[in-house]
Structure formats: C-alpha cells, structure tokens
C-alpha cells in the first residue's frame, strides 16, 4: 500500500509517498481502508520538529491523525464493528502514529460509525478539532446568554465546531476572524463578528468572561486587558512550560489561564454526533486527491481558509 512518511524534520518537501506492507492488526484493532484524512496544524508542528518533547526524534515518522473509511478486517476481541462498516476515527498515539496511508490499523475503541448524512471527508474532520471544542466547553463551566465569550481565530476547524456548540448552548459570542470568515462566523452563531484585518479587538472597550485564542497569537498577558475580573483565558496552544506554570500562578490571580489538552474518546464523540444530529455543519474548504498530498499540506499550512482541508483516497 502507499503511505506517506518522512525521514527528517522539515517543510512539506520531506514528505514522501512510499510502498509499505498493509499493517497487521492486534486483537483490539480494526483495519480500515482509508477514504479520507484531515489535516491539522499539529501535523506540521510535529513535522517541523516543534514538538520533539512529545513526538521524539526517531524516523521514519508518519503523519495525519483523524480519518474516515471502511472497515476491512476486525481483531478477535472487537465487537460492534464489522467488515464493510463506514467509520471514522483517530489514532491512539497522535505523536507517533499516522493515517496518511491506504490502510490503517487502529484501536477499535477510537473508531465510530459514520453518520449517513455526512461524507467521508466531513467525518475525517471531526475527531481532533471536535474533541478540542467539546473539551473547551467543559473548561468554560456553566455558560448562558449572559456569558460573554471571545473566540479569537474563529473559523478554522476548531472554531467551526466551537462556535456552533456555543450557539447550541445559547452563549453570547464575539468571533474574531479574517474578512473571508465573517459570513461563516455569523452563520455558525456568533452574535458579533470582528474582522481582525480591519479592527484590533484589544482596542475595543468590550471585556469578556471567557477569551479563547485559537490563533495562537494572542497569549494570556495580552488577553488580560479584555478579560473581566475572574475571567478565563483558554489556551489550546501552550508552550510545555505553561502547563505547570499556569496551574501554579492561577492560585494567586483572579484572571485564570487554563490550558486545553484534549484527547478524543467515545464520550466526546457522542456529544459531537448529537450536535451534528441537531444541525452542526462541517465545512470542508478543499479536498485534495492523495496524489497531491504535498499541495494539500502546503495549502493548509498557508492558512486563510474556512473549516478543514481534507485528502481523499479512492
Ligand atoms: N490543545 C489541543 O488539544 C488542541 C486540539 C486541536 C487543535 N489545537 C490547536 O488549536 C489551534 C486552532 O486549531 P485549528 O485546527 O482551528 O487551526 P486553524 O484551522 O489553522 O485555525 C486558526 C485560525 O486562526 C485565525 N487567525 C490567524 N491569525 C489570526 C489573528 N492574528 N487574529 C485572529 N485570528 C487569526 C486563522 O484565520 P485566517 O486563516 O483567516 O487568518 C484561522 O481561522 C491550532 O494551533 C491547533 O494546533 C489544540
């Protein structure tokens, strides 16, 4: 089978399509014929060597985390899935495994049946960013129409899920996006939209109960000026040192810095599937064929698109 690997850290140029044996499955795994996988910022952060503390520096490395496809074979201990099922899922160890291949062997507890109303490309877009959005909601605690939430970087994959989940819970949301994203942010439920190319959210007089920065460019120190007393700053792109330091410093300050670390599971996927039933939309901005995997990663890394970028296989 064809699989994308890389032998050193670097740009998309290090990605190579290679011939590999179809993986053998363990008793608790399923073999999935991959129909689509989505691209996440984490893929290129790992590939560029920015996450070596967690990814290690051993090669070859595989890439891609969430996928959709058709079950080809099930391990002896697997129940609830059978050959031919249309599924989506995620690898267990995002730092070491990869799904950018014609077949993947994955833990059955991280594979779910694909709802019939969504495509393989849409399903492949769910696990990583959908789970991160639900985890963020958990960290927000009780929210209602009086809770003022700022979502900075609101129309990438993560923001797409978060805005719509917040709308389903009735929060008062301000979305910061580029001009391409303003119509989507409104459609997905933002009460107010700020185009960051025209207006600096930090110059406004408005303050928020919760600020979540999905752009990775704001940071807690900057956000403090637009946070109410006792507000939360949610950070899904922490530096490793910020994880313990924020916990410790929060003991002494009223404006809290909370790190988001998410891991897909059945619990989060059930919440996402329920939200999809209620009308949550999954926008796939562009689908690339497998043969154009380098172009797909280049396009995704450049940014400036709405929702998700997906690679499809036959
Ligand atoms: N901790 C976790 O568990 C976890 C899980 C999933 C994702 N993440 C991280 O969360 C972040 C968001 O994920 P994603 O998949 O949504 O990424 P994404 O699709 O790249 O979205 C990032 C968004 O930020 C916007 N942006 C860029 N510059 C901005 C600025 N100066 N001001 C405001 N917005 C700006 C981008 O808009 P334009 O492109 O239009 O500029 C884009 O919509 C990534 O860094 C990802 O690695 C963390």
Query: Which pLDDT score is estimated for 195?
Result: 97
Query: Which pLDDT score is estimated for 89?
Result: 98
Which ligand 1 atom is at minimum distance from the Cα of 158?
A: 16
Indicate where the chain has its CATH 3.90.180.10 domain(s). Answer: 2-126+282-312
What's the rounded Cα separation, in Å, for the pair 234 and 255? 11
Return the SS3 of 66. strand
Q: Whose CA is nearest to atom 19 of ligand 1?
A: 156
What's the rounded Cα separation, in Å, for the pair 107 and 92? 7
Indicate where the chain has its CATH 3.40.50.720 domain(s). Answer: 129-259
pLDDT, tens digit, 9 for 90 and up, residues 212-251: 999 999 999 999 999 999 999 999 999 999 999 999 999 9
What's the rounded Cα separation, in Å, for the pair 220 and 217? 10
Q: Whose CA is nearest to atom 40 of ligand 1?
A: 304
Which ligand 1 atom is at minimum distance from the Cα of 307?
A: 19
Per-residue pLDDT, averaged over 36-59, amounts to: 95
Domain 129-259 has CATH 3.30.1240.10: no
Query: Does this model's pTM top 0.85?
Result: yes
Backbone angles phi, psi at 196, to 5 degrees: -70, -15
Task: Concatenate the DSSP letters of all residues of 244-297 into one string.
Answer: HHHHHHGGG-SSEEEE------HHHHHHHHHHHHTT----EEEEEEGGGHHHHH
Of 46, 51, 214, 261, the residue with max ligand 1 atoms within 8 A of its CB, to mutate for a pocket test, comes to 214
pLDDT, tens digit, 9 for 90 and up, residues 163-173: 999 999 999 99
Per-residue pLDDT, averaged over 299-304, amounts to: 97
Distances (CA, A) of 222 to 150, 211, 226, 233: 13, 11, 8, 10
Per-residue pLDDT, averaged over 121-135, amounts to: 98
Contact 226, 204 (CB under 8 A): yes
Q: Whose CA is nearest to atom 33 of ligand 1?
A: 153
- DSSP element (H, E) containing 120: helix 120-124
Per-residue pLDDT, averaged over 119-148, amounts to: 97
The residue behind tokens 């989505």 is: 38
Binned at pLDDT 50, 70 and 90, residue 210 comes out as very high
Which ligand 1 atom is at minimum distance from the Cα of 300?
A: 20
Q: Look over the chain and give the mean of its residue pLDDT values, rounded to a whole number.
A: 97
CATH class of the domain at 2-126+282-312: alpha beta
CA of 154 to the centre of ligand 1 (A): 8
Query: Which pLDDT score is estimated for 4?
Result: 97
CA of 52 to the centre of ligand 1 (A): 21
**Ligand 1 pocket residues where CB is under 6 Å:** 40-42, 128-129, 132, 152-153, 155-159, 176, 178, 180-181, 196, 214-217, 236-237, 260-262, 303-304
């Amino acid at each position: 089978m064809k699989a994308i690997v890389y032998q050193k850290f670097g740009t998309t140029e290090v990605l190579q399509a290679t011939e590999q044996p179809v993986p053998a499955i363990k008793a608790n795994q399923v073999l999935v014929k991959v129909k689509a996988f989505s691209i996440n910022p984490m893929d290129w952060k790992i590939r560029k060597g920015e996450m070596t503390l967690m990814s290690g520096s051993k090669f070859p490395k595989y890439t891609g985390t969430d996928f959709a496809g058709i079950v080809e074979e099930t391990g002896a201990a697997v129940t609830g899935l059978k050959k031919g099922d249309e599924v989506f899922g995620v690898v267990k160890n995002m730092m070491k495994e990869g799904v950018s291949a014609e077949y993947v062997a994955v833990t059955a507890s991280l594979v779910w049946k694909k709802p019939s109303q969504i495509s393989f490309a849409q399903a492949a877009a769910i696990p990583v960013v959908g789970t991160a959005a639900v985890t963020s909601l958990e960290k927000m605690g009780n929210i209602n129409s009086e809770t003022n939430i700022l979502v900075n970087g609101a129309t990438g994959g993560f923001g797409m899920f978060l805005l719509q989940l917040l709308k389903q819970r009735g929060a008062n949301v301000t979305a910061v996006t580029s001009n391409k994203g303003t119509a989507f942010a409104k459609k997905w439920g933002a009460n107010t939209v700020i185009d960051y190319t025209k207006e600096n959210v930090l110059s406004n007089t408005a303050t928020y109960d919760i600020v979540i920065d999905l752009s990775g460019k704001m940071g807690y120190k900057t956000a403090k000026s637009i946070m109410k007393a006792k507000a939360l700053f949610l950070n899904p792109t922490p530096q490793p040192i910020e994880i313990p330091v924020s916990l410790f410093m929060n003991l002494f300050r009223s404006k809290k810095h909370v790190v988001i670390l998410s891991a897909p599971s059945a619990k989060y996927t059930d919440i996402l599937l329920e939200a999809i039933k209620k009308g949550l939309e999954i926008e796939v901005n562009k689908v690339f064929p497998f043969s154009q995997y380098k172009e797909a990663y280049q396009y995704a890394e450049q940014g400036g698109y709405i929702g998700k970028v997906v690679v499809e296989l036959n």
